[in-house]
Amino acid sequence: MTTELSTSLPTDHSRAVADGAHSHGLVPEASRAARLTSFDPADFPVPTGREEEWRFSPMDRLAPLFDAAGEGLREGGVQVTVVNPPEVGVEIVGRDDPRLGSVGRPGDRTAVTAWHGFTDATIVTVPPQTVASSATSVRVEGLDRTGEPTAAHLMVHAGELSEAVVVIDHVGAATLTETVEIQADDGAHLTVVSIQDWEPGSVHAAAHRLSVGRDATVKHVVVTLGGDVVRITPDAGFTGEGGDVQALGLYFADADQHQEHRLFIDHNQPSCRSRVTYKGALQGDGARTVWVGDVLIQAHAEGTDTYELNRNLVLTDGARADSVPNLEIETGEIEGAGHASATGRFDDEQLFYLMSRGVHEIDARRLVVRGFFAELIGQVGVPEVEERLLAAIEDELAASMAALEGER
Amino acid sequence: MSTLEIRDLHVSVETKEGAKPILRGVDLTIASGQTHAIMGPNGSGKSTLAYSLAGHPKYQITGGEVRLDGQDVLAMSVDERARAGMFLAMQYPVEVPGVSVSNFLRTAKTALDGEAPALRHWVKDVKTAMERLRMDPAFADRSVNEGFSGGEKKRHEILQMELLKPKIAILDETDSGLDVDALRIVSEGINRVREGGEVGVMLITHYTRILRYVQPDFVHVFVDGRIAEEGGPELAEQLEAEGYDRFLAPA
């Protein structure tokens, strides 16, 4: 059995590949603490779909990213363009750059193929004590409509006491497995927004690995709108006391889309705080969302304060949302720990109340859905992103409202 | 001048055992300027009447008709009824998270009028109405009914009645759960709307208490899904003294 802990942030390659034999996969590990992480592809056999971390996923559609033949992935399937304020550094580096892979290790098959699949990586660096004058925009554009798998690697490094916002935008068409390393040094205030707004036909797996320094604050925002299959696995850990992670997620799944978000917050340091809030709406036949929120409070992580919440709003028949919060607590000396999860159908009583005031059904539905996301969007704190999210929700609603009008 | 005419209304709800009749032939006419108190014991069908008139999908109309100035209300959707001039102040107003009171009120007003209200007048109207109902201005920014106390919810219902200016207002147990102060504030609000003489009010209540503040022109006693007795305000006084027992005694 494996005893490898996924908690030694930061880590390095030499240690990472030194694991012994593992058994994992067919039998779900009881504890998230026991879940293997490694840079060695041999540690992650091609999954069958019966494994705990894959049991909700559409394995056939993700298969190209598993690289079953071990041939590696093609180059150049995506083009990365960065627009940055002058204070923020941007580098394109080769895979031998020692900074790469310093934030955690791959935790599943697509993450390990991502690690071995890229040739160049993009590193965004906010120097210590620097306050970025505007948001840094990282555009990851998919250029591939053939379904051939490709890999990408991004790293965002916020130096000590720096402040910055980085928005990563995924557009175009791609079959992509991606790593996003996010490192916030002591006292940094970093916001990273990752938007998945792919064209239909796209398949995207992304491992986000976060390292949060002493008294650092990281706001990690995931927005998933477009793409056939999107599976994001943010893993966060701390390197000092007083760290704060706010993980926000917003997703909107239409017919036959699969959107999966699996988070792991590892409270591996005392007196750190985490807040996870993910909200999703689903509409159309075969719309599918999965949210898994694992939080581990290690024995020495006294004074931990954590709360995670997932809400799903099912707008039509034929859509399915899974929501699985897991909280493992190894010490009782904590500030607070809790989770809440709810998946509800569209509330007809809300609709009745609004309509009884003369509001047309379509406007009433729009109000309710906007209201469902409103507080979450307000927490993003980046005005241009907030505006875009509101517009995206309007677009999503326009589709369902057209269907509703068609019924009349 | 508007008139709501309810003729031989029969309503059922779906239960596990099949359709259960609740209203068994209700006849009632309400004209502008009139206030009709509907009183009756629990389970007599008062709220069913209110929600049926508003068009709640839970209630199935199995017979009769409802006309507002000759228009067939039962053929209208919920929102069409409101735009025709019907208003229901609910006993249990629904929470709508993330939708602010001010946005909600403006959306409703716009839907009713067919155009957005002139901003400056509207803001002033809302502010004045809220002040008169002793509602903190911060209410405008709160989500509709979310975290409101019972009294706050009822005041918010009456606020809507004042601002949306319906032809026929149905107040479903607006007095229930209110303390005397809140009851007085809510009653004043109802009376302000009544003073205009343009609204017909159906005031549904279990208790006679609110009738001390809101004087009805007619009192109807509701028992077992129909009106068992009708009279003037003196009937309410009689009920206050005697309770509903004589209506509930087996025949």
Is A6:A266 a contact under the CB 8 Å cutoff?
A: yes
What average pLDDT does this structure show over A393-399?
A: 85
- Å from B108 to nearest chain A CA? 6
What dihedral angle (degrees, nearest 10) is formed by the CA atoms of A38, A40, A42, A46? 70
The DSSP code sequence of chain B is: --EEEEEEEEEEEEETTEEEEEEEEEEEEEETT-EEEEE--TTSSHHHHHHHHHT-TTEEEEEEEEEETTEEGGGS-HHHHHHHTEEEE-SSPPPEEEEEHHHHHHHHHHHHHSSPPPHHHHHHHHHHHHHHTT--GGGGGSEETTT--HHHHHHHHHHHHHHH--SEEEEESTTTT--HHHHHHHHHHHHHHHHTS--EEEEEESSSGGGGTS--SEEEEEETTEEEEEESHHHHHHHHHHTTHHHHS--
A-chain residues within 8 Å CB-CB of B56?
A: 352
Cα–Cα distance for residue pair B251/B247, rounded to 1 Å? 9
What average pLDDT does this structure show over B163-167?
A: 97
Nearest C-alpha in A relative to B96 = A350
What CATH number is given to the structural domain containing B174?
3.40.50.300
Q: Is pLDDT larger for residue A12 or for residue A207?
A: A207
Report the pLDDT value the prediction gives residue A403, as an integer from 0 to 100. 65
Is residue B117, in this structure, part of any structural domain at all? yes
Is residue B11, in this structure, part of any structural domain at all? yes
What average pLDDT does this structure show over A293-307?
A: 97
Question: Is residue A116 scored above 70 in pLDDT?
Answer: yes
Is A393:A313 a contact under the CB 8 Å cutoff?
A: no
Cα–Cα distance for residue pair B169/B31, rounded to 1 Å? 11
Is residue B251, in this structure, part of any structural domain at all? no
What average pLDDT does this structure show over B169-197?
A: 95
Percent of chain B with pLDDT over 90: 89
Nearest C-alpha in A relative to B93 = A353
Q: Which of B79, B91, B146, B160 should one mutate to test binding to chain A, selecting the residue with the greatest count of A CBs within 10 A?
A: B79
Is residue B249, in this structure, part of any structural domain at all? no
Own/partner contacts of B70-78, CB < 8 Å, gap of 24 or more, are B73/B4, B77/A355, B77/A361, B78/A352, B78/A355, B78/A356, B78/B54
pLDDT band at A32 (very low <50, low <70, confident <90, very high): confident
pLDDT band at A165 (very low <50, low <70, confident <90, very high): very high
Count up the domains in chain B and report the number: 1
Question: Is residue A82 scored above 80 in pLDDT?
Answer: yes
pLDDT band at A404 (very low <50, low <70, confident <90, very high): low
Q: Is the ipTM here above 0.85?
A: yes
Is residue B51, in this structure, part of any structural domain at all? yes
Report the pLDDT value the prediction gives residue A75, as an integer from 0 to 100. 79
- Cβ contacts below 8 Å, chain A against chain B, sum to 82
A401 shares contact with chain B (CB less than 8 Å): no
Nearest C-alpha in B relative to A376 = B98
Question: Is residue A15 scored above 50 in pLDDT?
Answer: no
Q: Give the residue numbers in B contacting A (CB under 8 Å), as ranges.
A: 54-57, 77-79, 81-83, 87-88, 90, 93-99, 103-104, 107-108, 111-112, 143-144, 160, 164
Cβ pair B79:A373 closer than 8 A: no
What average pLDDT does this structure show over B221-237?
A: 94
Percent of chain A with pLDDT over 90: 80
Cβ pair B94:A350 closer than 8 A: yes
B-chain residues within 8 Å CB-CB of A352?
A: 54, 56-57, 78, 94
A-chain residues within 8 Å CB-CB of B99?
A: 367-368, 370-371, 374
The tens digit of pLDDT for each residue in A219-268 reads: 999 999 999 999 999 999 999 999 999 999 999 999 999 999 999 999 99
Closest CA to B169 of B54, B55, B77: B54
Cβ pair A355:B99 closer than 8 A: no
The tens digit of pLDDT for each residue in A303-333 reads: 999 999 999 999 988 999 999 999 999 998 9
Report the pLDDT value the prediction gives residue A26, as an integer from 0 to 100. 39
Q: Is pLDDT larger for residue A163 or for residue B243?
A: A163
Q: Which of A311, A347, A357, A366 should one mutate to test binding to chain B, selecting the residue with the greatest count of B CBs within 10 A?
A: A357
Polymer length in residues for chain B: 251
Q: Which of A279, A347, A351, A355 should one mutate to test binding to chain B, selecting the residue with the greatest count of B CBs within 10 A?
A: A355
pLDDT band at A10 (very low <50, low <70, confident <90, very high): very low
Nearest C-alpha in B relative to A348 = B57
pLDDT band at A7 (very low <50, low <70, confident <90, very high): very low
Percent of chain A with pLDDT over 70: 91
- CA R_g for chain B: 18
Report the pLDDT value the prediction gives residue B246, as an integer from 0 to 100. 82
Question: Is residue A20 scored above 50 in pLDDT?
Answer: no
Is A245:A274 a contact under the CB 8 Å cutoff?
A: yes
Q: What residue has token string 């925002």?
A: A221
Closest CA to A252 of A372, A149, A141: A372
Contacts of B50 (CB under 8 A, 6+ apart): B88, B170, B172, B202, B204
- Å from B234 to nearest chain A CA? 33
B-chain residues within 8 Å CB-CB of A375?
A: 97-98
pLDDT band at B3 (very low <50, low <70, confident <90, very high): very high
Report the pLDDT value the prediction gives residue A14, as an integer from 0 to 100. 31
Domain coverage including residue B16? 3-244
A151 shares contact with chain B (CB less than 8 Å): no
Side-chain-side CA neighbours of residue A330 (13 Å): 15
Edge-to-edge strands, sheet with A163-173: A78-83, A136-143, A163-173, A189-197, A217-226, A244-253, A273-282, A305-314, A336-345
Nearest C-alpha in B relative to A361 = B79
Is residue B17, in this structure, part of any structural domain at all? yes
The tens digit of pLDDT for each residue in A132-157 reads: 999 999 999 999 888 899 999 999 99
pLDDT band at A65 (very low <50, low <70, confident <90, very high): very high
**Mean pLDDT taken over chain A:** 90
Q: Which of B47, B80, B87, B107 should one mutate to test binding to chain A, selecting the residue with the greatest count of A CBs within 10 A?
A: B107
The tens digit of pLDDT for each residue in B92-137 reads: 999 999 999 999 999 999 999 999 999 999 999 999 999 999 999 9
Report the pLDDT value the prediction gives residue A74, as an integer from 0 to 100. 84
A365 shares contact with chain B (CB less than 8 Å): no
The tens digit of pLDDT for each residue in A170-192 reads: 999 999 999 999 999 999 999 99
Local structure of A241: helix, strand or coil: coil
Report the pLDDT value the prediction gives residue A30, as an integer from 0 to 100. 59
B83 → closest Cβ in A353, A358, A364? A358
**Mean pLDDT taken over chain B:** 94
Local structure of A121: helix, strand or coil: strand
